[in-house]
Amino acid sequence: MSTEVPLHERVHDTLRERIGRGDWSAGMRLPSEAALCREFGTSRGPVRRALAVLREEGYVVGGRGRPPLVGRVVPTQPFSTFTSFTEWARAIGKEPGQRTLDAGSRPAPSTVAGFLGLDEGAAVTQVVRVRLLDGVPTMVERTSFPPEVGLLLADLDHDRGSVHAHLAAKGVDLRRARHTIDAVAANPLDSEVLEVGAGSPLLRERRITFDAARRPLAYADDRYRPELATFTIENEVDRRTPLTRSHPDEGGARR
């Protein structure tokens, strides 16, 4: 079965990436449909479909006779924004930080092995970090990578760099992710590094990341202090359901 990504999705992902990394700033007029058709070698149909989805997600505003403009960036469900703590922190005007607690090759527990499609006990690269917002411990991040992805992290300074940006720069196809959100009690490590009482409730996001062929690239277990981060789902008939992470200081605004 073909795994080729539909053209309108490729157009959408490319434009969203440009907006997300600041190549096109808020209020900037987008290239014309004709220019985008020339760039991507396509007809207006895929371009218009891509722009329609970007409008739904808040990345593009205007239309109905008005030229499309870059909207205020609203990082939602796509992997590149939703799962990047660094991008989220900067989007809400806070300084991201991290402190590595553990990084190295470890035997995969059965749950992790199952999610990554490996045999139990197979070697995975595990990275455990505490993530900070303006110096405040906010989240404990536990991420496991299969061997071929873990090897690419050998030259990353985990106390300074973004894992997502590093892997993307290495050509890893971080295409899609599946998220599960629930509440858990803080274990001893969570309690110590997040500076909360043992057994305190934490907001947990578990995530499996896939490439375009649906091969699992990473499994993550992220645990947040609930007073510092929340997740919001918006439902609307006939539209995608964006999932956003927010901070109390945002005053209810999307991240």
103 and 20 belong to one structural domain: no
Are 99 and 192 in contact by the 8 Å Cβ rule? The answer is no
- Classify residue 116: in a domain, yes or no: yes
The answer as to whether 2 is a domain residue is no
Element (H, E) at 37: helix 33-40
Q: Which domain holds residue 158?
A: 79-250
- Label residue 240 by pLDDT band (50, 70, 90): low
In-domain check, residue 215: yes
pTM of the predicted structure, to 2 decimals: 0.63
Same-domain status, 193 and 95: yes
Q: What is the per-residue pLDDT across 47-88, written as a single tens digit (0 to 9) for each?
A: 988 888 888 777 888 765 677 888 865 433 333 445 578 877
- Please indicate, yes or no, whether residues 62 and 83 belong to a single structural domain of this protein: no
Whether 199 maps to a domain, the answer reads: yes
Residue ending a domain, choose from 44, 70, 96 = 70
The dihedral built from the CA positions of residue 244, 250, 253 and 255, taken in this order, carries a sign that is negative
Indicate which CATH number applies to the domain containing 175: 3.40.1410.10
The tally of domains found in the chain comes to: 2
What confidence category does residue 183 fall into, taking pLDDT thresholds of 50, 70 and 90? Answer: very high
Work out the widest C-alpha separation in the chain, in whole angstroms.
59
Domain with residue 12: its CATH number is: 1.10.10.10
The predicted pLDDT at position 145 comes to: 96
Instruction: Dump pLDDT digits (tens) for 1-11.
Output: 345 778 888 89
Nearest to 109, CA basis, from 149, 62, 142: 142
**How far apart are alpha carbons 179 and 46 in whole angstroms?**
28
CA-closest candidate to residue 107, choices 142, 147, 140: 147
Does 54 map to a domain? Answer: yes
